Structure 1
């Protein structure tokens, strides 16, 4: 019977070849154009059409399955081995709402000669969602109690409420992190007309009157480790009751009120519930003490006014904002989830009977691929989930290409324990957390490469709820990350940690660190063993709120070669660590590049965490021993690198072997080196002006030049600058150009 199916489906190939498939991709003006690529020529073809009749489904073009799950299950039943050339599942355009996660396992694997391909028809948009559409009739006017809490700047009739408890939504009783959290959000998300709606906040996102930038207020001083003073003007509000009085009344009525703040550091803001507001002293007490206590870590110590404990005096740099409260909904689009009421309050920008409202309440990923191999997902859109778009675990030879992932409360794509995977030409944006996260790719204990590649992806507007990076790589070996475009993100663009032999090349990054401080376009930290990571031919531009390449906390063995860094305060910042070498880079309009020694204030010695992590890798045996011998030769040392690093005589607490040599600086910049450690900054060339550099078209970042002084240090510049960033391939048919979207200026500090 299964062989007969093969014959029938193979015969369908003839029909397929004459079937008129459109050869253009659907487009979004912000993204350029994606497509699902050329039509594969496979001997077996299965069809899915969600709008088809449910009668007589057999997967043929005439009687397609109505769900992707049905096609998957059909393929599972086919006789093995699969036909030479593989199987293609063709999915007709439309929106497919999934009752549960769409999952593939090892049982769904293809082979190298018989891959299994799931793809949309070229030119047709296939959307997969696990969000729940809300009936417009379920939105109701505010009840009397809620009306009494409405911001006096608006009228109660402008808001509506949704009884999410009565409707059976699950993630409505509180933030996952409880009273205090940094990365645990965990409440449902509101999506209206295909756009994630902003949770209510004070100050408003465009209001700079309460601090130094829009969307944030600053502390007026610190009372003790968990209490701070607010400015009298911050209590003012239109109407009879002051802002703080209304917040205090909400708390007394049992409604949770949360503040998010940079209580001690300028990175990783912590969200904490308010315990009480003291109007007499104009102070706010948090329910939990932030780690280290309130007060910038860079300010002086003082004594707690009540308990005589040391705390840091606030210096006006401690930024904070209120999140998720009915009382502060005052702009169209804002909403708040009230945990006590079990209701979602919303200020619609247009009548809800003219809108599509979706609630993302499913914490599972939209798609999970667990243990499968030799599969391809091509040309789909994943949206409106509360979890990840796609989660992969222990996979190999999986291709994700031409996908769009957006409006997800967590991340876009997670790849855990994978190898030989290809993540290519995807658009990922409007995510609550990260874009792409890869961990445990390859085998670090044995230094075995994963050979996974991440290429030609456009990732932006990530970290809307939780500030994680658009691209994260952890505990991985042997990956290529190239030609990606990353921009408009709250912190670092690329974070890679505890990894080896990563190649970052031809990536374009701009406008990072828009919310947090002390960040880097490329950031790594805390590993003496992280040798072999090469960063070359990358372009960082319009990046005033962030550093360029940041090797923090002892990170070692990074090679920065022939990169271009423009309009960035610190092009390179290397904090201790070893053998971080920057050479042949083009640096335009930067403030400084520096190598620092922090060993006098922090532990970077042989009893440090960095030394312990290196010893845990057993570096004097197996693959690590061999690697140490190779590295010793590379850096001009005798024997084994690790025997030097782990010896007191080599003084590993200092940034030994780090160099900033033979770079080209356009404009005025300073170079800072520490007094201790084996470091250098030699052979650097300075050209005083942009005009003297002779760039073809600096305003459009066409940095080709005939300037011999530049080309001597960066011989391949004129080729490299034309190849950086997104490229045309079968899935990205119309790459963005920098002058076709808002890429050629520094964007304002934002409030996500």
Structure 2
């Protein structure tokens, strides 16, 4: 009897449980008139979404079988549709489903001329991204695409000169792209016609919140029919509805799969004000073919250098407890994942983002969450008008979210003011175990001090600031509500009212146990007012660490390989400290009168560096000498037991936990380049001869060499041998030239030159003064 009763209860429970759970299936071979079961699946995502509306209070899973699904419109998940207990949208089992924001074209290719083919397209076609057999092709451009070119894959100063413009019959709809004149990101303009003088009429340039003319050199044009002249290029005549394409030699165009972009966003998860959507997971889906968004990137983010487009392949607003796991974002045209406004407790884990046109993952709050906001660098709010209540004004911002174990690389393909992970107007964002590399600007960027509390740990961020300059692998700004570009005002207001400093940056941001490398700037760059940071146990591989303005930064137990500490333009009573760090070149201060709270117990490279620091009133207990890393060639920068770093309180930390740890992604991720060390241990062991930019150089030594080269003293570095590809040779220097200064800094010996280069190479161009045949000469050394 008991067994029968137990069996009846079990049957009833199973029936009730199955009714509380719904599983729907979608297949490219399905039918939207079917039941949506595993044996009779739906055919389209839209049909499956309709079923969600009928499943209030139940747990719903939508499984996509292997294949590509072309959306008829972006999927909108809001309270009108989602009333479920939970919702999972996922690829089925070990299969991979591709969600396309584009469409598959039926073509009828015919030869046009000069190797170009043409086909008619549908009347509603207006795409700007074109794929052949899954590979993104090149929108007709000048100069032609060059995979090896550092900026925009090819630029030219004559991209919009009068001679070239006269060749274009109807450039309306074309684009002019270029870097900001300060190389602070990119600018983009749409051509709207010619003016009465025959010059281009342009609209745009709003993609950077620090207005600027186009860079004179780094610019290119695209979407111009007359520039269709190279294999892989294409052009869409939107008026005649004709698609032109120049295929590669020996390609089977007639048998190729042709896909084009259509929508910017693929899935939007949007709750209501005060009624967030929750308990939704997007798992193991791949996103493709999203349209570009650079002309919509125009909303200023307070006084950071950024403007933004609030959209992406996945867009979240007013949500909580949402999970984005194991997804792929492949060559999407804009942002991959955008969390806008209120988002709490969301997890973004194990995703692979490659080739995004803009940023990888963005956490961006609404500006109405900030008290006394300003929106341009030069703006400021007088003290009397400031809202002096600490913290946010509303909850319209991301908070307590996590981005972990994501692999993000080769992003910012068109939008150069972008980042692997972007944080603005957000609180307590955890960014950990991510691998981020090959970015045009920062790998991780924080745009303001509102509202701090972030933890950045165990990330591997390298090959950054590849196309721009004056930035960091990690970059931040802190132009908060009290901040002003007037130094005199800032010194006054923060002295009288130090409580203003933490009104927005009211929680400490922690940067620990990361590995950073920047190519044209600093590995860690805390710019313009960035305050309330704790930075420790980081390996900086190339650019060192910069602290500009700002307050209450504690920098401790970091390793700055081949570089140093860059304090810039500090305020009075900054309360900054720099303790127990390893630096390998002299400090590089700029306009520092007040050296903060405590700069001491550091390991410096040589006696001169230490004496210079102590003369400025810092580093009373610091030492100089050899670091003695265990195995720097393989990236192990722990120090041996006899290292002098241990004498100043430095403590070893783990070197094997940087970057993505999920095995599948870890196998795919690359590692940074570990540089050869430039290290001086004592006066009598300083390097005198060495290789520099494919040239052999030697320190001037003694009266004999001074006389031989006609020098006024025994200082300088002589060029002994120049390789054919040496940048020194390209700058016009010759063997037996003696380098006397670089970047307006005296070069007394080879170690000086190496140190200056490490500190200043991010600038891209260095002035070099030499003596040749007893006569002074000045050249520009281009490092681009």
Give the TM-score, by structure 1 length.
Answer: 0.66
Answer yes or no: is the 8 Å Cα contact 1:45–1:90 preserved in 2.
no
Aligned residue number for residue 266 of structure 1: 183
- Which of 696, 699, 702 is the equivalent residue of 2:636? 702
Distance 1:52 1:409 in 2: 28
Query: Shift of residue 486 of structure 1?
Result: 0.8
Distance 1:669 1:678 in 2: 16
Q: Evaluate the alpha carbon distance shift between residue 297 and residue 366 of structure 1 in structure 2; reply closer, same or farther with a 3 A threshold.
A: closer
Does residue 519 of structure 1 match 2:471? Answer: yes
- The aligned runs of 1:642-681 (5 Å cut-off) are 654=572, 656-665=574-583, 667-672=584-589, 674-679=591-596, 681=599
Query: Shift of residue 189 of structure 1?
Result: 1.3
Distance 1:254 1:76 in 2: 47
Query: Shift of residue 79 of structure 1?
Result: 5.5
Does residue 199 of structure 1 match 2:149? Answer: no
Cα offsets for 1:461-490 (capped at 9, x unmatched): 111122222211111112211111111111
Query: Shift of residue 360 of structure 1?
Result: 0.4
Aligned residue number for residue 684 of structure 1: 602
Q: Structure 1: give runs of 5+ residues left out of the alignment.
A: 1-5, 15-41, 143-155, 172-187, 219-229, 236-242, 299-311, 599-652
Distance 2:247 2:651 in 1: 53
Q: Evaluate the alpha carbon distance shift between residue 116 and residue 327 of structure 1 in structure 2; reply closer, same or farther with a 3 A threshold.
A: same
Distance 1:72 1:260 in 2: 39
Answer yes or no: is the 8 Å Cα contact 1:275–1:285 preserved in 2.
no
Aligned residue number for residue 754 of structure 2: none
Task: Give the secondary-structure state (helix, strand or coil) at the position aligned to 1:335.
Answer: strand
- The aligned runs of 1:124-163 (5 Å cut-off) are 124-137=95-108, 139-142=109-112, 156-163=113-120
Aligned residue number for residue 620 of structure 2: none
Aligned residue number for residue 398 of structure 1: 322
Query: Larger deviation: 691-700 or 420-429?
Result: 691-700
Structure scoring higher RCO (CA < 8 A, sep ≥ 6) equals 1
- Which of 532, 544, 547 is the equivalent residue of 1:574? 547
Aligned residue number for residue 593 of structure 1: 565
Does residue 736 of structure 1 match 2:708? Answer: no
Answer yes or no: is the 8 Å Cα contact 1:13–1:45 preserved in 2.
no
Answer yes or no: is the 8 Å Cα contact 2:537–2:653 preserved in 1.
no
Task: Give the secondary-structure state (helix, strand or coil) at the position aligned to 1:492.
Answer: coil
Aligned residue number for residue 167 of structure 2: 249
Distance 1:381 1:198 in 2: 22
Does residue 92 of structure 1 match 2:32? Answer: no
Task: Give the secondary-structure state (helix, strand or coil) at the position aligned to 1:735.
Answer: helix
- Which of 420, 424, 437 is the equivalent residue of 2:362? 437
- Which of 384, 394, 404 is the equivalent residue of 1:455? 404
Query: Shift of residue 422 of structure 1?
Result: 0.5
Answer yes or no: is the 8 Å Cα contact 2:400–2:428 preserved in 1.
yes
- Which of 312, 316, 332 is the equivalent residue of 2:231? 332
Aligned residue number for residue 222 of structure 1: none
Distance 1:56 1:323 in 2: 44
Distance 1:248 1:320 in 2: 18
Aligned residue number for residue 421 of structure 1: 346
Answer yes or no: is the 8 Å Cα contact 1:46–1:64 preserved in 2.
no
Aligned residue number for residue 125 of structure 2: 169
Aligned residue number for residue 411 of structure 1: 335
Answer yes or no: is the 8 Å Cα contact 1:130–1:366 preserved in 2.
no
Distance 2:282 2:203 in 1: 46
Distance 2:558 2:454 in 1: 19
Answer yes or no: is the 8 Å Cα contact 1:257–1:274 preserved in 2.
yes
Distance 2:399 2:239 in 1: 48
- Which of 410, 420, 431 is the equivalent residue of 1:470? 420
Does residue 722 of structure 1 match 2:656? Answer: yes
Aligned residue number for residue 216 of structure 1: 155
Q: Evaluate the alpha carbon distance shift between residue 540 and residue 204 of structure 1 in structure 2; reply closer, same or farther with a 3 A threshold.
A: farther
Distance 1:437 1:213 in 2: 22
Answer yes or no: is the 8 Å Cα contact 1:597–1:655 preserved in 2.
no
Aligned residue number for residue 504 of structure 1: 456
Cα offsets for 1:561-598 (capped at 9, x unmatched): 22110022xx22222122233221111122x4222228
Distance 1:99 1:204 in 2: 34
Q: Evaluate the alpha carbon distance shift between residue 463 and residue 714 of structure 1 in structure 2; reply closer, same or farther with a 3 A threshold.
A: farther
Task: Give the secondary-structure state (helix, strand or coil) at the position aligned to 1:64.
Answer: coil
Distance 2:260 2:424 in 1: 32
Distance 1:493 1:672 in 2: 25
Does residue 65 of structure 1 match 2:15? Answer: no
Task: Give the secondary-structure state (helix, strand or coil) at the position aligned to 2:414.
Answer: coil
Aligned residue number for residue 48 of structure 1: 25
Query: Shift of residue 553 of structure 1?
Result: 2.1
Q: Evaluate the alpha carbon distance shift between residue 63 and residue 540 of structure 1 in structure 2; reply closer, same or farther with a 3 A threshold.
A: same
Aligned residue number for residue 547 of structure 1: 522
Cα offsets for 1:364-389 (capped at 9, x unmatched): 43444444211111111111121621
Answer yes or no: is the 8 Å Cα contact 2:351–2:406 preserved in 1.
yes
Q: Evaluate the alpha carbon distance shift between residue 709 and residue 403 of structure 1 in structure 2; reply closer, same or farther with a 3 A threshold.
A: farther
Answer yes or no: is the 8 Å Cα contact 2:605–2:625 preserved in 1.
no
Distance 1:55 1:255 in 2: 42
Q: Evaluate the alpha carbon distance shift between residue 326 and residue 286 of structure 1 in structure 2; reply closer, same or farther with a 3 A threshold.
A: closer
Answer yes or no: is the 8 Å Cα contact 2:285–2:327 preserved in 1.
yes
Cα offsets for 1:287-339 (capped at 9, x unmatched): 469989xxx999xxxxxxxxxxxxx9x9x974333333233334322234456
Query: Shift of residue 658 of structure 1?
Result: 2.7
Aligned residue number for residue 119 of structure 1: 90
Answer yes or no: is the 8 Å Cα contact 2:119–2:244 preserved in 1.
yes
Q: Evaluate the alpha carbon distance shift between residue 204 and residue 541 of structure 1 in structure 2; reply closer, same or farther with a 3 A threshold.
A: farther
Q: Evaluate the alpha carbon distance shift between residue 254 and residue 478 of structure 1 in structure 2; reply closer, same or farther with a 3 A threshold.
A: closer
Aligned residue number for residue 106 of structure 1: 79
Cα offsets for 1:48-71 (capped at 9, x unmatched): 131454387334333333344444
Answer yes or no: is the 8 Å Cα contact 2:32–2:42 preserved in 1.
no
Task: Give the secondary-structure state (helix, strand or coil) at the position aligned to 2:593.
Answer: coil
Query: Shift of residue 261 of structure 1?
Result: 3.0
Answer yes or no: is the 8 Å Cα contact 2:545–2:560 preserved in 1.
no
- Which of 237, 259, 263 is the equivalent residue of 1:362? 263
Answer yes or no: is the 8 Å Cα contact 2:100–2:289 preserved in 1.
yes
Give the TM-score, by structure 2 length.
Answer: 0.64
Distance 1:167 1:213 in 2: 31
Task: Give the secondary-structure state (helix, strand or coil) at the position aligned to 1:723.
Answer: coil
Cα offsets for 1:99-133 (capped at 9, x unmatched): 1112222356578xx53322222321111112111
Cα offsets for 1:393-450 (capped at 9, x unmatched): 1011000100001222111011121101101110111111111111229995169782
